[in-house]
Chains A and B, each alone.
Chain A
Amino acid sequence: MKTIIGLEIHVQLNTDSKLFCECPVDYGHQEPNTNICPICAGQIGAKPQSINKKALENGLRIAKILVCKEVLNQDIYFQRKHYFYPDLPSGYQRTSKPIATEGKLGNIGIWEVHLEEDPGRYELRKGIVDYNRSGIPLAEIVTAPDLRSPLEAKEFLERLERYLRYFDLISNEVGNMRVDANISLEGGKRVEIKNINSFSNVEDALNFEIKRQITQIEQGIEIVQETRHFDENSGITIRMRKKETADDYRYVPDPDILPIVIDERLLRESQATIEELPDQRTQRLAEKYGIESSDARVMVIEREFADIFEEISKTKQIQPQKLANWMRGPLRKQLNYRSKKTSESGLRIDEIRELYEMFEKGEISDSAADQILISLLDGESTTQTRKIRQIAEERGLLKNANKEEIRKICEDAIRENEKSVADYKSGKEKALFFIVGKIMQKTKGAADAKEIEALLKSKITEKDNQEKIKK
């Protein structure tokens, strides 16, 4: 039986303030009801301010990514969608008519993109309402029913998210993409699963729903049009309401909001930054620089990250594949560990270039490179480009500078750890690593573990030979 799936995706747009007021959009880490004002708390007599321009611009950027036709030079009204729920301070949600229609992402059609405001958050069990989220700008993306399997739906969402992240259009909050999934089996009625908060849950909910519907059909029970809720803990969908009793939202144009008009200039200005799409860039990086596709893909996680890769790859004597390995490994690890975007990390291309070159030439060890990176990321931010060589010198992380010293430390270590040396000589390879660890501690990582290992081996052999000669 053919499976027909369409998605409605609510994306929290990356902005500094809410859609109709100046409150900050940070809600995940704030005390409840601190980022609110009379407007987003729907106080009596408060009116929405003019629409947040950045939200509209980001909406138009999404339209471009999804190859939509923008609704140009005509009044686009915000409507009031009425329903009662504790998280909705005015009893209606403000939601625009489409700003763009008829697009596609890959071979999946996009019906429309429109803007709306996020409601607050309601914790049913505690009976607590937090309006910090109320009024945060959302774009709703509605796909055509072109998806044919739960896996395809999940992959579509992952791709969409990759694109939105790449162009920095989406907020950083948990729950920044929420999905309503519509599913029907060929010839059957449509069932909507509302407000699913992760992509794997989308896949799970749809898989469950297919099984449920097939079982029903086999039992001769008719599928009814209804709205269901996915329960994450039990992994099943539960009926919320049947369509017969579904809400009538009584959409009316909001008299407090002037209609938006998108003209060519606004379109040009907001969409200028959207050129090469991430998948195109991945392909180009792989071909042009001869790196693995999987590495190219990681480079393109963020636009600024890929920019760094391309910029440094232009430097002579740098092998792009090696650079990609290092960026994908140590650099990405430090950024991810801090959940920092490259753009907000404070790192500059010149700093990364110098650091990488020193590492690549063997002037510093990989752990020294890590240390410098950490100090750049966690240190005080500065407007000047920091000199990596200077930092390395100050911290005694340059390899050549202390080769003599390390040799001496190795000799000392052999003397101080007689038992381990003996163990090693009797064939226990691991005993050597114990000594390597000690030396690494002593040199605070300036030394290269591999080099120390080699040095120790040769020293032990040397010592052995000398002793043999003495005998």
Chain B
Amino acid sequence: MFIEKIEKTLERIRRDDPKIGAFIEVYEAEAKERAKKLDERLRAGRKLGKLGGKIFSIKNNIAIKGKKMTCGSKMLEQYVAPYSATVVERIEAEDGIIIGSTNLDEFACGSDNTKSAFFKTLNPLDHEYVPGGSSGGSAASVAADFAEISLGSDTGGSIRAPASFCGVCSIKPTYGLVSRYGLGDLAMSFDQIGPIAKNTADLQSTLGVITGRDEKDQTTTVEKDWQKDEIGDKKIKIAVAEEFLEGLDPKIADLFEELRQKLTEAGHRIDKVSIPSLKYAIPIYYLAVFAEFSSAMQKYDGLRYGNVGEVEELVESVAKIRGEKFTSEVKRRIMLGTFITTKEYQDAWYGKTLKARAKLRSDINSVLSLYDVLLGPTMSSLPWKIGQKNENPLEMYLADILTVPANLAGIPAGSVPYGKIGKFRPGFQIQAARFKDQKVLKLMRTIEELDSK
């Protein structure tokens, strides 16, 4: 009975979430209503959709019609989405149950979920630690058994980082595989919606539903064969870039070595390669993201969103609302993004950034033309304590060094936990060529099996 499953889950949320802070809003009535309907349909002998009765949580930068869509920002504290995102429509059409919306760093700008304008989300594995971000509420909701699957968004690791910190699985699909219609913008050429779950099977079934061409997002592409298992029974050709291993937490390095050996024992081929341009991934990523972000934030002028009160004229309104309603990380990104796209500096900064992005993309692609996948750790460190990285934004940016290349190249990347260090189960990242998401899932399943042995 789905209604019992929902009741139990709601009970758990009532008990534990006041502490963890995974949810911005819980849709208790709607979830129960939906569960009852599904039960009725089963009793009537009818079939359910592909996600029948699966409990979903949705990052609160994805539109659900009639529900608050805050994007973790004071600017949108009162904003109610007038329509549903394509992914939400598709999940509902296949009988998934949406139980609530989850917390995030403001406009998804952050790596540890301490940048939500409302409250901090704690890591369910240890409440003194961050859950990772920006989809921290999503990963925490899955780790704490508040939802079976959560949809997050990933611009430079925002799904994979929290999945790694909370010890769960996730995949950022190929750019263009999942519609972004209804996803609040961070950086449009990087953003991608993807699932977080406790196992790869749930990732696979969710992808089967949310992917595909959408007229409302013209960057979605039709790729007929992307669901095909190209590797089959063959052994997997794995590349490890030596750049992935620089500055790694020694405990994670040891665990990775253990994983490497087990995979080799299982007959998979693992080669070390070098992609020197990865060194530049962070500056390229942040410059490009700032530029797109400053454009995306342009609509917040105090006239349509956020109540600014009485102002005399437009410029004052824009300045006042942005001053009051955005937190410092968002302001920093808007200012830097605006600076590098001004006429005077655009060639020197933004133009060069785009060229460097193209170079990095082609370097990664040439490795992926020789190997099935790239393997490495998802994060170079274990979760840090809440408040530990608040002072220096650069330190926070550097935490993304391993996850941003996938978004720069538009390729799929998954994170799967292996082993244990204290309370934590660090994630390992698998990347493949564009539309080779099944190769990513293949190796994720392999590691999942090794981990359970």
Contacts and interface: CB of A to CB of B under 8 A. Distances in A.
Interface in A253-272: 254-258
A220 interface: no
Closest 4 CB pairs of A and B: A91-B298, A255-B188, A255-B189, A250-B341
Nearest to B190: A255
Contacts of A92: 295, 298
A84 interface: yes
Interface in A225-250: 248, 250
Interface stretch (A7-15, A43-51, A348-356, A424-432): A43-51
Interface in B304-331: 304-305, 314-315, 318
B366 interface: no
Given A248-B342, A250-B343, A80 B215 contact: no
A31 B78 CA distance: 26
A257 B218 contact: yes
Contact of B292 (A49, A50, A255): A255
Nearest to A42: B299
A101 B315 CA distance: 36
A434 interface: no
Interface string B323-358: 000000000000000100111101000100000000
Contact of B218 (A38, A44, A47, A85): A47
Nearest to B189: A255
A42 B82 CA distance: 11
A43 B80 CA distance: 10
B299 A258 contact: no
A91 B299 contact: yes
Contacts of A49: 215-216, 218
A127 B187 CA distance: 32
Contacts of B341: 250, 252
Interface of A: 38-39, 42-50, 80, 82, 84-86, 89-92, 129, 248, 250, 252, 254-258
Contact of A43 (B83, B219, B292): B83
Interface string B137-162: 00000000000000000000000000
A48 B298 CA distance: 16
Given A250-B343, A252-B350, A256-B219, A46 B299 contact: no
B301 interface: yes
B450 interface: no
B218 A256 contact: yes
A252 B295 contact: yes
Contacts of A48: 218
A85 B181 contact: no
A129 B343 CA distance: 30
A102 to B, nearest CB: 25
B215 A250 contact: no
A89 B182 contact: no
Given A47-B216, A47-B217, A82-B295, 18 more contacts: A38-B82, A43-B83, A44-B69, A44-B76, A44-B299, A47-B181, A49-B216, A80-B295, A86-B303, A90-B298, A90-B299, A91-B300, A92-B298, A129-B303, A248-B343, A252-B341, A255-B188, A256-B218
Contacts of A256: 188, 217-219
Contacts of A44: 63, 69, 71, 76, 79, 81, 184-185, 299, 305
15 contacts: A44-B69, A44-B79, A44-B81, A45-B62, A46-B83, A49-B215, A49-B216, A84-B318, A85-B314, A86-B301, A86-B303, A86-B314, A250-B294, A252-B341, A255-B189
Interface in B107-165: none
A39 B219 CA distance: 15
**Chain A's interface: helix, strand, loop or mixed, by majority?**
loop
A45 B185 contact: yes
Given A38-B83, A250-B342, A46 B181 contact: yes
B59 to A, nearest CB: 12
B81 A45 contact: yes
B142 to A, nearest CB: 23
B63 A258 contact: no
Contacts of A258: 218-219
B183 interface: yes
Interface range, B side: 35 or more
Contacts of A42: 299
Contacts of B180: 45, 47
Contacts of B343: 248, 250
B155 to A, nearest CB: 12
A86 B83 CA distance: 22
Nearest to A249: B343
B314 A84 contact: yes
B291 interface: yes
Contacts of B295: 80, 82, 92, 250, 252
B353 to A, nearest CB: 11
Contacts of B298: 82, 84, 90-92
B177 interface: no
Given A85-B314, A255-B188, A45 B63 contact: yes
Interface in B219-258: 219
Contacts of B299: 42, 44, 89-91
Contacts of B187: 255
A256 B301 CA distance: 21
A45 B292 CA distance: 14
B10 interface: no
Contact of A84 (B189, B301, B338, B350): B301
Interface in B63-82: 63, 69, 71, 76, 79, 81-82
Contacts of B346: 250, 252
A43 B182 CA distance: 9
Of residues B63, B217, B299, which shows the largest number of chain A Cβ atoms within 10 Å of its Cβ? Answer: B299
A38 to B, nearest CB: 5
Interface in B20-69: 61-63, 69
Of residues A38, A86, A255, which shows the largest number of chain B Cβ atoms within 10 Å of its Cβ? Answer: A255
Of residues B182, B187, B295, B350, which shows the largest number of chain A Cβ atoms within 10 Å of its Cβ? Answer: B295
B85 interface: yes
B218 A50 contact: yes
A217 to B, nearest CB: 31
B84 to A, nearest CB: 10
Given A89-B299, A250-B338, A250-B341, A45 B69 contact: yes
B187 to A, nearest CB: 8
